[in-house]
């Protein structure tokens, strides 16, 4: 056991994962409980800006952020969690860390280098981004497999940084971001066309779809015939929940790889254990938008339980219509805001395109303004 026994006044909360969800929740509870964040990496990666870091690695200095100031009272332990049971989590070392409440926020993995590899340190991650950048800089033709938000943003960033590079964006769907308003699709198509991106909708790639790293030169075959040749191919098909360590755990149910939760974000089979973020099976999309709702909800719930006044009485409600901000380069793009309001480049640039929300990420970690 590596932490002290609790006093009745200060309960212990273990947060598994120091990504967007885990850090925000941990910081919000630091004044009312003994909070420990267990995170396998040595830096927080503000991965919203990782796409631009591939086209301009100077952004790396701004997006790999230390955990030192996250918790004025609590602590961040660098370790991999390998198990969870009521009242404790187990670390890869075999140590158990006892807790009155456990919050699972292990998030998701993504194609490299848009998130780091499993427990990759910041030095190795920097090298990985620079290596991708070096390949990108000399590529004359780039193909992107997958026109989700990351694929769209990547196409826009590449055309902004390297206007003469041919960029082809492939999607198996016949419209962009099918889960969102058709107006968003139209605006984004226009923005991509304006940048000179070749958009191939309704074209399923047959090669390299699951590639974890950029590869090439390669010829990508398309279902139904046709090929696209490229010096460099990025496959950005989507996120994979980091829940392998929970498979087979009594009391943990996984659905589509995500952790099943009840209406209070608690695991139905394990009381006092909750899940939030990309790894939790809520009706939210795998975005920060979902976290913006889940964290305040669980914060209030746990604060009520800790104070003895009772948790939330209302069930958690995901966004009714999902929100998303999709820059196409620093000055272009389109966004869908609450109530399905679709906005164009000015709002997108203001919300995200220019600054990529670095200031907010720093504030969430207790860091001051950039110098
Ligand atoms: C390139 C890119 C750009 C994106 N841009 C946007 C955007 O602009 N807007 C938006 O809303 N969403 C965006 N997203 C999605 C967004 O990043 C995710 O929704 C978000 O990362 C989810 O946060 P999280 O805290 O749940 O998980 P994560 O951010 O994945 O964090 C989970 C953390 O848990 C740690 N961890 C995992 N397992 C263990 C373990 N067993 N032991 C210890 N630690 C562990 C991981 O190391 C990681 O630090 C983007 C995603 C990508 C890949």
pTM above 0.75, yes or no: yes
Q: Ligand 1 centre from 219 Cα, in Å?
A: 31
Q: Ligand 1 centre from 57 Cα, in Å?
A: 20
Given pLDDT bands bounded at 50, 70 and 90, which one contains residue 322?
A: confident
Structure token pair of residue 30: 């630091």
Pairing, β 232-235 against β 141-145: parallel
27 lines ligand 1 (CB under 6 A): no
Q: Ligand 1 centre from 281 Cα, in Å?
A: 15
Whether the predicted pLDDT of 261 surpasses 50: yes
Q: How many Å apart are CA 234 and CA 365, to the nearest integer?
A: 31
Give the pLDDT of residue 3: 53
Q: How many Å apart are CA 1 and CA 12, to the nearest integer?
A: 13
Q: Ligand 1 centre from 371 Cα, in Å?
A: 26
197 alpha carbon, distance to own chain's centre:
25
Helices (H), the chain: 20-29, 50-55, 60-63, 122-138, 149-161, 182-195, 288-307, 345-348, 358-364
Contact 306, 317 (CB under 8 A): no
Q: How many Å apart are CA 96 and CA 100, to the nearest integer?
A: 13
- Over residues 245-259, the mean pLDDT reads 97
Q: Ligand 1 centre from 195 Cα, in Å?
A: 28
In our burial notation (b when 16+ CB lie closer than 10 A, e otherwise), range 336-370 reads beeeeebbbbebbbebbbeebbbeebbebbbbeee
Q: How many Å apart are CA 79 and CA 90, to the nearest integer?
A: 10
In this structure, what DSSP letter does residue 84 have? E
Q: Ligand 1 centre from 8 Cα, in Å?
A: 33
pLDDT digits (tens, 9 = 90+) for 48-90: 999 999 999 999 999 999 999 999 999 999 999 999 999 999 9
Please give the share of the chain, as a percent, with pLDDT higher than 70: 97
Q: Select from 319, 353, 354 the least CA-distant residue to 338.
A: 319
Residue with CA nearest ligand 1 atom 23: 20
Q: Select from 268, 264, 265, 274 the least CA-distant residue to 251.
A: 268
Q: How many Å apart are CA 156 and CA 332, to the nearest integer?
A: 8
Given pLDDT bands bounded at 50, 70 and 90, which one contains residue 370?
A: confident
- Over residues 320-326, the mean pLDDT reads 91
**Which atom of ligand 1 is nearest to 80's Cα?**
42
Whether the predicted pLDDT of 241 surpasses 90: yes
User: Which stretch of 1-10, 100-109, 152-161, 166-175 has the lowest confidence by average pLDDT?
Assistant: 1-10
Structure token pair of residue 215: 């590869």
- Count of H-run helices and E-run strands, the chain: 9, 24
- Over residues 258-264, the mean pLDDT reads 98
Give the pLDDT of residue 7: 47
| Superfamily per CATH, domain 12-112+240-307 | FAD/NAD(P)-binding domain (3.50.50.60)
Annotated domain spans of the chain: 12-112+240-307, 122-238+330-362
Residue with CA nearest ligand 1 atom 41: 81
Q: Ligand 1 centre from 167 Cα, in Å?
A: 26
Residue with CA nearest ligand 1 atom 4: 48
- Over residues 311-329, the mean pLDDT reads 93
108 lines ligand 1 (CB under 6 A): yes
296 to 300, 307, 366: CA distances (angstroms)? 6, 16, 17
Whether the predicted pLDDT of 4 surpasses 70: no
Say which residues have a Cβ less than 8 Å from residue 324's Cβ, sequence separation at least 6: 149, 177, 180, 184, 285, 287, 289, 335, 336
Whether the predicted pLDDT of 2 surpasses 60: no
Domain pair 12-112+240-307 / 122-238+330-362, same fold: yes
47 lines ligand 1 (CB under 6 A): yes
Q: Select from 156, 123, 133 the least CA-distant residue to 58.
A: 133
Q: How many Å apart are CA 85 and CA 273, to the nearest integer?
A: 8
Topology of 122-238+330-362 in CATH? FAD/NAD(P)-binding domain (3.50.50)
Of 54, 287, 295, the residue with max ligand 1 atoms within 8 A of its CB, to mutate for a pocket test, comes to: 287
169 strand-pairing partners: 144, 199
pLDDT digits (tens, 9 = 90+) for 113-153: 999 999 999 999 999 999 999 999 999 999 999 999 999 99
Of 21, 26, 47, 338, the residue with max ligand 1 atoms within 8 A of its CB, to mutate for a pocket test, comes to: 47
Contact 43, 60 (CB under 8 A): no
Give the pLDDT of residue 9: 64
Pairing, β 12-16 against β 101-104: parallel
210 to 109, 346, 363: CA distances (angstroms)? 13, 34, 35
Q: How many Å apart are CA 268 and CA 84, to the nearest integer?
A: 14
User: Which stretch of 2-11, 65-74, 162-171, 201-210 has the lowest confidence by average pLDDT?
Assistant: 2-11
**Which atom of ligand 1 is nearest to 289's Cα?**
11
């Amino acid at each position: 056991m590596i932490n002290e026994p609790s006093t009745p006044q200060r309960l212990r909360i273990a947060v598994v994962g120091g990504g967007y969800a885990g850090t925000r929740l941990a910081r919000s509870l630091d004044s009312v409980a003994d909070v420990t964040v267990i995170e396998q990496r040595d830096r927080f990666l503000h991965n919203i800006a990782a796409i631009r870091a591939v086209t301009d690695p100077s952004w790396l200095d701004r997006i790999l952020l230390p955990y030192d100031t996250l918790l004025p009272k609590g602590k961040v332990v660098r370790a991999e969690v390998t198990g969870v049971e009521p009242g404790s989590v187990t670390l890869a070392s075999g140590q158990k860390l006892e807790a009155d409440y456990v919050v699972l926020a292990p998030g998701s993995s993504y194609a490299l280098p848009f998130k780091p590899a499993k427990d990759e340190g910041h030095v190795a991650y920097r090298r990985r981004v620079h290596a991708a950048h070096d390949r990108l800089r000399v590529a004359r033709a780039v193909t992107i497999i997958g026109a989700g938000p990351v694929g769209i943003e990547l196409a826009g960033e590449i055309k902004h940084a390297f206007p003469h590079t041919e960029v082809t964006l492939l999607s198996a769907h016949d419209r962009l971001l099918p889960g969102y308003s058709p107006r968003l699709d139209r605006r984004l198509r226009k923005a991509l066309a304006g940048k000179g991106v070749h958009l191939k909708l309704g074209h399923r790639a047959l090669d390299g779809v699951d590639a974890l790293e950029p590869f090439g030169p390669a010829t990508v075959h398309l279902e139904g015939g046709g090929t696209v040749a490229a010096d460099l191919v990025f496959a950005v098909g989507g996120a994979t929940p980091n829940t392998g360590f929970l498979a087979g755990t009594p009391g943990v149910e996984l659905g589509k790889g995500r952790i099943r939760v009840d209406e209070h974000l608690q695991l139905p089979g394990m009381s006092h254990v909750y899940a939030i973020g990309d790894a939790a099976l809520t009706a939210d999309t795998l975005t920060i938008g979902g976290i913006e709702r889940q964290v305040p909800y669980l914060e209030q719930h746990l604060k009520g339980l800790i104070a003895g006044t009772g948790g939330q009485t209302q069930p958690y409600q995901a966004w009714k219509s999902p929100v998303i901000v999709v820059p196409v380069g620093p000055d272009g793009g389109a966004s869908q805001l609450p109530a399905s309001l679709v906005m164009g480049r000015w709002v997108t640039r203001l919300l995200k395109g220019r600054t990529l929300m670095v200031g907010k990420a720093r504030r969430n970690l207790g860091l001051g303004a950039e110098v």
